Structure 1
Amino acid sequence: MSESNGNTAPAASPEKDPADWVTGEEPATGPQKSYLETLARQSDEDVDPDQLTKAEASQKIDDLKN
């Protein structure tokens, strides 16, 4: 019988490419739009989150964060 000492980390979930998301073609979510607006202001870039899908918004967030 083995004992668990509680020091095991949970398995990391693999990141899925936004282009492969089942819901990727749905409109961007409210939190995505809000975050995009904040990042766009900080980077002086024009972004219209209302014209982006969930997948596109996720990719744009990654671009603006880098």
Structure 2
Amino acid sequence: MTNRTEDPSHNDQASNLEKDPNDWATGDESMTGAQASYLRTLCEEAGVDFDENLSKADASKMIDELQHRTGRGEDH
């Protein structure tokens, strides 16, 4: 069994999760289906219009903002 801390792919994935969306190589592509689904839910909860034309990077930033606004991103 591989220790996650020694698994290079695990470390790369963790560093990608912390990368600024402005620096994503694919950030200008259309948002993913998962992003769109979650963002639509957050928009409804926050009373904000959903923009289906956001890029991956912009969707990620909006998700972060709306999670904070709705309390969904808070650690409990």
- Same fold by TM-score greater than 0.5: yes
Residue 60 of structure 2 corresponds to which residue in structure 1?
58
- Segments of structure 2 that go 5 or more residues without pairing to the other structure are 69-76
DSSP 3-state at the match of 1:28: coil
* Count of residues paired in the alignment: 58
Q: Deviation of residue 17 (structure 1)?
A: 0.2
Is residue 2:38 matched to residue 1:35?
Answer: yes
Identity across the alignment (%): 47
Largest Rg, 1 or 2: 1
- The structure, 1 or 2, with the larger RCO (C-alpha pairs under 8 Å, 6+ apart) is 1
Q: Which has the higher helix share?
A: 2
| Unmatched tracts of structure 1, length 5 or more | 1-7
TM-score scaled to structure 1, two decimals?
Answer: 0.78
TM-score by length of 2: 0.68
**Deviant stretches of 4+, over 2 Å:** 8-14
